[in-house]
Structure 1
Amino acid sequence: MSMVSHHKNVYVWHALAGYWGGVKPAAAGMEHYDTALAYPVQSPGVLGNQPDIVMDSLAVHGLGLVHPKKVFDFYNELHAYLASCGVDGVKVDVQNIIETLGAGHGGRVSLTRAYHQALEASIARNFPDNGCIACMCHNTDGLYSAKQTAIVRASDDFYPRDPASHTVHISSVAYNSLFLGEFMQPDWDMFHSLHPAADYHAAARSVGGCPIYVSGYDLMTYVTCCLLVSDKPGNHNFELLKKIVLPDGSVLRAQLPGRPTRDCLFVDPARDGISLLKIWNVNKCTGVVGVFNCQGAGWCKVVKTTRIHDTSPGTLTGSVQATDVDDLARVAGPDWNGETVVYAHRSGEVIRLPKGASLPVTLKVLEYELYHFCPLKEIAANISFAPIGLLNMFNSGGVVEQIEVHLASDKKPEHFDGEVHSELSTSLSRNRSPTATISLKARGCGRFGSYSSQVPLKCKVGNNEVDFEYEPATGLLTFVIPVPEEEMYKWQIEIQV
């Protein structure tokens, strides 16, 4: 523990049965757990779909199964020891093995329920923050028996050396989250920050609303959120990490589990050759849609593994619109007219999108784009506004915590001297009196962007007035937010229009 004493949280791995092969029967000091060898029996469906050499070995040599009436004692003693060492929680892996061991214990459901009740009772006693991550746990007995476990792995492992795995990983988690996201927090697993598909994985996790697991021991001083270690020390892409994690170690996690948009529910974005995968989510004030080309690979029933079935998948074209964000109307509020400002992360485009309109998107395989849908607020005649967020972050809108509009008066905005007011003349004088002050609460640091139909009169961050840039052609307003001194600090931003 001295090696990681400067980190906020440390979790330790163990299997639901203790270790991969369970607990050694009659081992010194372990006799009171009444451990006995049990021999897994897999269902014909599992055997026919995915034979496994590890399971074959356990079926022959057995697994040391702690008696279900003693398993709470086992967990409690293990977790109490870990907690005494400063450990904050556990990742409990290999959970679905229990479904194969029900013989002699009342069946798989009874055995699974006993193990999960004991596990969660021990977690509650020893790790008060519910410090448990569930993994290899998609058997329905386990999912329905877990009452307190909040975080569940929604995917297969991240396989850095398997080029067939990356598109399938993204599409699998998105569709699994349709079910798992209703009662648990889906976990997308770790990924390498220095990898040909690193941006692809990072973008998916940013729209996935999941914990961010970044690889590498050296990273722990920077990334203090959720972390797993798998990079080689020193092999890290910090420029990528800065798009996910703020300097205080916090992440811009979206509000919900990321799920496919409605028009993606009954297509196969990994194998049909025509469909892009769209994943939607919301932040407190904006929505986001991640679009991914996941074509070209999938599970092969013949060789029983994921393989590339199309070595040259085509470039695909689709579209995105505000209604792809299923919950955007709730975020926008009752007075929203359906109009949005869209910020595309990779291209940097800012587009004002009328209600019902859509944007085309064209992607090659392993390419993505993140579209941030920002509900437009009509402040006064010819003045409208929408906060975007930190433009360099994958989940730009995740920094915006709150928006309020304070009108100066009911007086109509002044126009340029001699200008006749009409629908075609909408530029207001920079010498005008303020119409409103827009107050934002936002986290983080860097280049902050908003849409404003008029050039602002003044921008303040905290107590300081700041310089800003304004692009009349797009309405993009930008200024720089400094690095805060406090963790999870919320800046008070004022924009006078």
Structure 2
Amino acid sequence: MTVGAGIGVADGKLMVLGNCVLRDVKENVIVTAASGGALANGAFIGVVSDQIGSRRIFPIGKLEGLRFLCVFRFKLWWMTQRMGNRGQDIPFETQFLIVEARDDSSTIDDESKGGMDQSALYTVFLPILEGDFRAVLQGNEHDELEICLESGDPTVEGFEGSHLVFVAAGPDPFDVITNAVKTVEKHLQTFCHRERKKMPDMLNWFGWCTWDAFYTDVTSEGVKQGLDSFANRLTHIKENHKFQKDGKEGHRVEDPALGLRHIVDEIKDKHSLKYVYVWHAITGYWGGVKPGVIDMEHYESKLAYPVSSPSVQSNESCDCLQSITRNGLGLVNPEKVFNFYNELHSYLASAGIDGVKVDAQNILETLGASHGGRVKLARNYHQALEASISRNFPDNGIISCMSHNTDGLYSAKRTAVIRASDDFWPRDPASHTIHIASVAYNTIFLGEFMQPDWDMFHSLHPMAEYHAAARAVGGCAIYISDKPGHHDFNLLKKLVLPDGSILRAKLPGRPTRDCLFSDPARDGKSLLKIWNLNEFSGVVGVFNCQGAGWCRVGKKNLIHNEHPDTITGVIRAKDVDFLPRVADDRWCGDAVVFSHLGGETVYLPKDAAIPITLKSREYEVFTVVPAREVCNGVRFAPIGLIKMFNSGGAIKEMNYKDEKSTSVVLKVRGCGVFGAYSSARPKRIIVDSEEIEFEYEEGSGLVTVCLRVAEDELYLWNITYEL
């Protein structure tokens, strides 16, 4: 039986392009080809069953002896990664799974020979939404892959079951994932891929968040008060008492000089701020909207008590959810929720606010009872939210947060930015390496829907450089939560230009292909490499993340090795998976690699590698540039602003005048030391029609010039190299 041009069940095996991925496939499993111009090597998996119920589990087949990576929800709100090679290693609430199959003649060591394993086949499993039900994956003790199907409403029990998981395969893992999500997009027609969404401009500018800056003095009483605060409910759509100098909790002072508009106008004017975002929960506040409050009755809020999925409960209990469950949540009538959002957002917009961070989104999945189920409730809320954002914040000003469930991801047509992991925890030593690894692996899945947000961090912190380097390769916004006066400006200058703009990479930063199935947090031998693209180069961040991870036994983040080993790995040009897309058609595969901390410039022939050795919690950032030979035989590669983490992000245009010319013309943003590789000393360098002095290192080929601070915002320097 062949379905999906190469995916089907035959002799009890799920065969994918000639490779067996699952064995002992159950007889009630059905495979349906994707239709309507969908991915050729893709198909839907479903089940035939006469069972009904709001929660059902269906074994599919055995997964044995194949390496996999999955991302799963270890909390109600957040996902993290897990690697393994058998079905029982797959956790509850797995929302994304990629499995590696190989030709019988190949081995894992083949990757080290050419820098990229050409024999591997990557199979992606995407559990999706069908009607009022949501599917996720999990493993059992018999190494069987199971589908867990839930509606979230005891009265919603009937399901079709034919399109529960989409399966796709191919030789390039990143292309397979992207094409699989785009196929599901066409099938469901309820969400849009990231590439079709408008990115808010705030991503391109440095920011500051007030959260960690002030919420820091933690005591036992403070913890109690903090938990109690999760039960607080919204009593008005305007600013609360904290913004009213003379206001008390539950009361407002109607004085424009004390209100939000006055504060926003003042800080925008005084500090030349471009954007101000504010926080609210998807239900208004942590405890929702208080029923029966004057001026709020028309939202028809009713007290509801969350019921979370048994799968979520089995992974980790949540103090926040327990508080809300104990006290109840004031849930706005889904038919009135657009009016609620629109009134809230129109008021904020009138006060000069440019966007919102919408938190606690996954709480909706616990409130589906009596609302037609979790999928229906989430979709109603997300459609209303996005309609209000579109009306009130024209730059698509929204950050999605605490939102790692497929109920929301497969219902988001406009939202373009998503927090990609649990919080930055400045005081938790176990959290820092975990944070970097989790964001990177979560982004493999989340990055198909939205641009990842790596969360705030402290610039003055023992792990500040580590966090900063990761964000520089993450393609994300850069914002800190420093206390006033507690800053490391030398570090910030590696991320931010004097005009406040940042050198943001183009894509969501993801682990390199050779890191997909190794565990850089737990295996004691692997480094984490994260790649991204600029207009004319790639960037790779390398991190030693060993020593800490989420413990499936203790159900929390733990340091399992206080003194992880020093680890050696390699860097190749092919680590930047899409590098050929920004190279010339005649590119031969040679590249120039510049190390940020080491300050070394290396010419790297095609398929060659250079070693990188990192101690625990160390990092390095490499700029990788395709090299080109001009007509006189000189090889050239522009690197960028070499004092900044993402050097190549400064280069916005590059032109070789013609095939017979020895001149290269660049347009460059920013200031400081600009570096390029040239195999011979340039004859001269011209910046904005003025010939300038430069330095040239004969041994490495590094040529540098100094660019002054431009007077105009986002100014582009014209730099001509005559070779």
TM-score scaled to structure 1, two decimals?
0.90
C-alpha deviations, 1:445-482, integer Å up to 9, x for none? 00000001111111111122111000111111001011
- Partner of 2:490, secondary structure, is helix
2:596 alignment partner in structure 1: 345
In 2, the alpha carbon distance for the partners of 1:208 and 1:260 equals: 10
Alignment equivalent of 1:204, drawn from 449, 458, 470: 470
Judge conservation of contact 2:571–2:611 (CA < 8 Å) in 1: yes
- Partner of 1:145, secondary structure, is coil
In 2, the alpha carbon distance for the partners of 1:88 and 1:447 equals: 35
Q: Does 1:368 align with 2:619?
A: yes
Q: Does 1:48 align with 2:274?
A: no
In 2, the alpha carbon distance for the partners of 1:125 and 1:401 equals: 32
In 2, the alpha carbon distance for the partners of 1:398 and 1:59 equals: 46
Alpha-carbon shift at residue 3 of structure 1 (Å): 4.3
In angstroms, what is the RMSD of aligned CA positions? 1.1
Equivalent position amino acid for 2:538 in 1: G
1:148 alignment partner in structure 2: 414
2:338 alignment partner in structure 1: 72
1:105-144 → structure 2 map (5 Å cutoff): 105-144=371-410
C-alpha deviations, 1:398-444, integer Å up to 9, x for none? 0011221235x95xxxxxxxxxxxxxxxxxxxxxxxx6221011100
Equivalent position amino acid for 2:540 in 1: V
C-alpha deviations, 1:34-81, integer Å up to 9, x for none? 000000001112112111122122222210000000001100000010
In 2, the alpha carbon distance for the partners of 1:5 and 1:468 equals: 40
Equivalent position amino acid for 2:268 in 1: S
- Larger mean Cα displacement after TM superposition, 461-470 or 71-80: 461-470
Alpha-carbon shift at residue 123 of structure 1 (Å): 0.5
1:432 alignment partner in structure 2: none
In 2, the alpha carbon distance for the partners of 1:3 and 1:38 equals: 40
Q: Does 1:177 align with 2:443?
A: yes
In 2, the alpha carbon distance for the partners of 1:256 and 1:5 equals: 30
Q: Does 1:103 align with 2:369?
A: yes
Question: Equivalent pairs: percent with the same residue?
Answer: 63
1:4-403 → structure 2 map (5 Å cutoff): 4-6=267-269, 7-215=273-481, 231-403=482-654
Alpha-carbon shift at residue 338 of structure 1 (Å): 0.5
1:485 alignment partner in structure 2: 711
C-alpha deviations, 1:298-337, integer Å up to 9, x for none? 1123332211110010000110101111011111121001
- Partner of 1:380, secondary structure, is coil
Judge conservation of contact 2:286–2:324 (CA < 8 Å) in 1: no
Equivalent position amino acid for 1:38 in 2: A
C-alpha deviations, 1:346-368, integer Å up to 9, x for none? 10000111111001010011111
In 2, the alpha carbon distance for the partners of 1:98 and 1:77 equals: 21
In 2, the alpha carbon distance for the partners of 1:384 and 1:319 equals: 24
Equivalent position amino acid for 1:5 in 2: K
Task: State the aligned residue count.
Answer: 457
- Partner of 1:5, secondary structure, is helix
In 2, the alpha carbon distance for the partners of 1:189 and 1:329 equals: 30
1:494 alignment partner in structure 2: 720
Equivalent position amino acid for 2:388 in 1: S
In 1, the alpha carbon distance for the partners of 2:633 and 2:405 equals: 56
Judge conservation of contact 2:634–2:679 (CA < 8 Å) in 1: yes
Judge conservation of contact 2:679–2:701 (CA < 8 Å) in 1: yes
1:476 alignment partner in structure 2: 702
Equivalent position amino acid for 2:686 in 1: K
2:16 alignment partner in structure 1: none
TM-score scaled to structure 2, two decimals?
0.62
Alignment equivalent of 1:463, drawn from 685, 689, 701: 689
In 2, the alpha carbon distance for the partners of 1:89 and 1:163 equals: 32
Equivalent position amino acid for 2:534 in 1: N
Judge conservation of contact 2:265–2:352 (CA < 8 Å) in 1: no
C-alpha deviations, 1:235-265, integer Å up to 9, x for none? 0011111100111111101111000111101
1:431 alignment partner in structure 2: none
1:413 alignment partner in structure 2: none
C-alpha deviations, 1:125-148, integer Å up to 9, x for none? 111111100000001101111110
1:223 alignment partner in structure 2: none
In 2, the alpha carbon distance for the partners of 1:440 and 1:61 equals: 61
Alignment equivalent of 2:671, drawn from 424, 445, 460: 445
Alpha-carbon shift at residue 396 of structure 1 (Å): 0.2
1:426-437 → structure 2 map (5 Å cutoff): 436-437=662-663
C-alpha deviations, 1:81-102, integer Å up to 9, x for none? 0001000010000000000000
Equivalent position amino acid for 1:360 in 2: P
- Larger mean Cα displacement after TM superposition, 1-10 or 109-118: 1-10
Judge conservation of contact 2:409–2:449 (CA < 8 Å) in 1: no
In 1, the alpha carbon distance for the partners of 2:437 and 2:500 equals: 28
Alpha-carbon shift at residue 380 of structure 1 (Å): 2.5
In 2, the alpha carbon distance for the partners of 1:196 and 1:3 equals: 34
- Partner of 1:74, secondary structure, is helix
- Partner of 2:410, secondary structure, is helix
In 2, the alpha carbon distance for the partners of 1:53 and 1:372 equals: 43
In 2, the alpha carbon distance for the partners of 1:337 and 1:123 equals: 47
In 1, the alpha carbon distance for the partners of 2:370 and 2:445 equals: 31
Runs of 5+ consecutive residues of structure 1 not aligned to the other structure: 216-230, 411-434
Equivalent position amino acid for 1:23 in 2: V
